[in-house]
Chain A
Amino acid sequence: MDDEQTPVVEAVGVAKRYGPTVALADGRLSVLPGETHGLVGRNGAGKSTLVGVLTGLLKPDAGDVRFNGEPAPSLGDRAGWRRNVACVYQKPSVVGELSVAENLFLHRQPRGRFGLLSPSKLRRAASDLLEEWAVPVAPDVPAKELTVEQRQLVEIAGALSHGARFVILDEPTAQLEARAIARLFDRLATLREQGVTFLFISHHLPEVYEICQRVTVFRDARHVVTAPVAEMDTDALVAAMIGEARELVRLGEDRSPVPADAEPVLELENVAVQGIFEPVDLTVRRGEIVGVAGSAASGKRELAEAVVGLRSRTGTIRAAGRTVRPASVPDSLKAGIGYLPGDRNVDGFVSVLSVAENTTMTVADRLGPAGLVLPKHRDAKARKAIADLDVHTSGPDQLVGELSGGNAQKIVMARALASDPDVLVLVQPTAGVDVRSKESLLGAVDAETRRQRGALLVSDELEDLRVCDRVVVMVAGRVVAEHERGFAEAELVAEIEGIGDV
């Protein structure tokens, strides 16, 4: 590509922090006209923050963004941003109840006689627009009836109609099946020939090789490398994504191997959830941490939810020898299963209740006689949890909604531990928490399992999986591989991303 070209978008030294959390330390990106540029990085690498800055939705603390050599519009000038850049998110940004045409011309509907909106003009403008970009969708269809694929194309057409010739695609393939992905890529290639530039974000590396000309890697809130894809093989790309072995979080290195005859504490026999994952056999022994790795669509999270009784399932689950009733959280608790949900904001904690209430939610029956909850007992339990897990809080009475992500997650961990479970089921326990909280959380899992508990740790974070004694990998609802401690990380990542030889 010609070095003289002015980049469509250029970001230099972009930084953004939220309180103590650095979301982006050194964001750099330069996308040339007419290319499809890949942006990859693991969770927390700063990709989404960069997208927020590039689309004018986030104000960077430092750094500079230029479009076609011109400084970016001011944050308030939404129209200015929309002329330069558009983003199609994973989540729909259409109004489901309105028709495709109304969505395309939302708040800029063509007017007819008397300054009133003209439905016929609107329909004509919409079908012209859809035709121009060859989107095979009728303008009268309600947006909620579109498939994911159609919805994405409509959103792209809408973006282009604002004048932008630079479109950011945020994991557009995550919810698409293989043939739809192939069609989308055909369409993107056509649009590229028509002069549209794309920034393509994906966790699926083969896609990056398929449609991108250059790729930029972010890691730990920093730009790591930008290179033509032809000059970067998969190994180099994965190495850039996961970096050198980090000095932090060296937990669990001194864990002694679990004896083969250790008592099983969680046994899964033919456990399956229809349409999500196929029958799984899995045993967690006392003192063992078993990792379950896989992408978002692998079914790993659903496996955890089935174990703790949040999903109906088939097959047999025994906890410490006792058979657990399917789809009953109270019975799972009684059987000795502690649970840390995958998204604390959804079902992890009650933000309007205090640290003490949240910590003891699973054990409200053990805080006094005859169903009474004695605040003294509750606060004592909470204080112990605060000390054990190093929670930064003003005390048991503080609302959990006021805590930072890492500390809120420790409260969720405390809730899982409160019932003194035989086995812990943890889903993405360190998602979106800072490094120190990660250490406390994983340290707790490490320490607790040394006390003869077992743990099932569901995660796609390498830092989590390193603590595990054993890791099984799920892809598309099946267990495809199993590794002992000391696995090759690049190989594991390749398996998770579906580019291994599995």
Chain B
Amino acid sequence: MSEQTDERQEDQAPQQKPGRPANRLKLAKLRDLALIPPIIALLIYGYTLKPDVFLTKSYLVDTVLKYQTELALVVLAEALVLIVGKFDLSLESIVGIAPAVAVFLAVGNTSMLGAPWPTWTVLPVALIFGALIGLFNGLLIVRFKLSAFIVTLAMLIALRGLQLAIVGGATISNLANRVPVIDNLGSLRILTIPLSIWIVVLVFGLGIVVLGYTRIGRSLYAVGGNPDAARAAGIRVERVIWVTLIVAAMLAAFAGLMLSARLGSVAAAQGQNMIFTVFAAAVIGGISLDGGKGSLFGALTGVVLLGLIQNVLTLAEVKPDQIQAVNGLVILVALVLARLTSGKAQD
């Protein structure tokens, strides 16, 4: 039988034709830039709609980008998990539960675990809580070999329920006055740009360097592309997946804090339904659901594109009750466009 598979393999891997190789690198880079033309087109379209405001810094920064910062971080987190070849649906619940727990312990109406804790604990508690969820997901997925999709779906539901129990269906509000970390995250500006945007730029920059130019980063691609080959090459496959799940959960927890900071509150439904947009942005940005493929820069352009679409739809005065349907259609169109410009199947 081995004979047959080998022959098939030859069949699927045709000899390189001369001339084609030279384009290889260019194509790979092009995939990263595939969304730049539609982004420019949307900018131009937005400008024609509202020439006086659209291309001003205050609009683009404070209306478009600021509202995408949390999404961007969660997309980064999901991109890492997808590249390593797994799924994490629970990220959207972590966006809600991590700040909810941290804030609840600091300013909530409780005496559990010696609460109220000092307000400086909000940031570390949220991150540690996120990490613990990632650790637990990893335990089930890596150690017990359960399906990542179902494990994290169950976690999504369970954590959502836990959050309802903590927040009690109401909203913990007026946080800016009570928690300095939240206040800073929400209102601090550096060189007139909001802190949250700086953070996203920094984290993405760091992520691009780590994924592209470090040993651990490259091992993510190897594990996602072919775990058996990665294992045979001496990569500790299980550990890489586990660490990725923990890092992703911590990023989602931090994104949750930024969302709470922007809103000044923790709502019972914080993060709800976010995961759909996250996957849409990641796939439009060229991250493969099969693992091993995609770049963080591509994912970031996916986020920017979706953010622009939403704003342009508002500017175009699409009725609020129709905006969701139109948004879905536009995402489909964006997927098709990304497929056409990249020339590669999305999987």
The answer on a CB contact under 8 Å between B14 and A365 is no
The answer on a CB contact under 8 Å between B231 and A347 is yes
User: Which B residues, 179 to 238, have Cβ-Cβ distances below 8 Å to chain A?
Assistant: 212-219, 221-222, 225-226, 228-236
Q: How far is the CA of A49 from the CA of B2 in the complex (A)?
A: 11
Is A398 in contact with chain B by the CB < 8 A criterion? Answer: yes
Is B145 in contact with chain A by the CB < 8 A criterion? Answer: no
What's the interface size class on A, roughly?
Answer: 35 or more
B234 contacts which of A350, A362, A402, A431 (Cβ < 8 Å)?
Answer: A362
Q: How far is the CA of A350 from the CA of B291 in the complex (A)?
A: 11
Is A494 in contact with chain B by the CB < 8 A criterion? Answer: no
Closest CB-CB distance, B31 to chain A, in whole Å?
12
CB neighbours (8 Å) of A226 from chain B are none
The segment from A281-289, A366-374, A448-456 found at the interface with B is A366-374
Q: How far is the CA of A398 from the CA of B13 in the complex (A)?
A: 13
Q: Are A402 and B13 CB-contacts (below 8 A) given A339-B232, A345-B5? A: yes
Q: Are A352 and B231 CB-contacts (below 8 A) given A171-B1, A364-B215, A364-B219? A: no
Q: Are A361 and B1 CB-contacts (below 8 A) given A350-B221, A351-B226, A404-B15? A: no
Is A312 in contact with chain B by the CB < 8 A criterion? Answer: no
The answer on a CB contact under 8 Å between B231 and A310 is yes
The answer on a CB contact under 8 Å between A432 and B21 is no
The segment from A7-15, A158-166, A389-397, A462-470 found at the interface with B is A389-397
A404 contacts which of B14, B213, B231, B232 (Cβ < 8 Å)?
Answer: B14
B228 contacts which of A23, A43, A346, A392 (Cβ < 8 Å)?
Answer: A346
B16 contacts which of A23, A365, A394 (Cβ < 8 Å)?
Answer: A394
Is B319 in contact with chain A by the CB < 8 A criterion? Answer: no
Closest CB-CB distance, B269 to chain A, in whole Å?
38
CB neighbours (8 Å) of B321 from chain A are none
CB neighbours (8 Å) of B225 from chain A are 350-353
User: Which B residues, 66 to 98, have Cβ-Cβ distances below 8 Å to chain A?
Assistant: none
The answer on a CB contact under 8 Å between B231 and A394 is no
Is B11 in contact with chain A by the CB < 8 A criterion? Answer: yes
Q: How far is the CA of A393 from the CA of B17 in the complex (A)?
A: 10
The answer on a CB contact under 8 Å between B233 and A43 is no
The answer on a CB contact under 8 Å between A44 and B6 is yes
The answer on a CB contact under 8 Å between B228 and A403 is no
Is A52 in contact with chain B by the CB < 8 A criterion? Answer: yes
Is A102 in contact with chain B by the CB < 8 A criterion? Answer: no
The answer on a CB contact under 8 Å between B221 and A341 is no
Closest CB-CB distance, B12 to chain A, in whole Å?
8
CB neighbours (8 Å) of A357 from chain B are 218, 221-222
6 nearest CB pairs, A to B = A394-B21, A432-B6, A347-B228, A48-B4, A350-B225, A361-B233
Q: Please list the residues of chain A having a beta carbon within 8 angstroms of any beta carbon in chain B.
A: 18-21, 23, 43-49, 51-52, 89-91, 170-171, 308, 310, 329-330, 332-333, 339, 341, 343, 345-353, 357-358, 361-362, 364-365, 367-368, 371-375, 392-395, 397-399, 401-405, 408, 415, 428, 431-433
Q: Could you pull out 7 A-B pairs where Cβ atoms are within 8 angstroms?
A: A47-B3, A310-B231, A349-B229, A364-B219, A371-B214, A395-B24, A432-B3
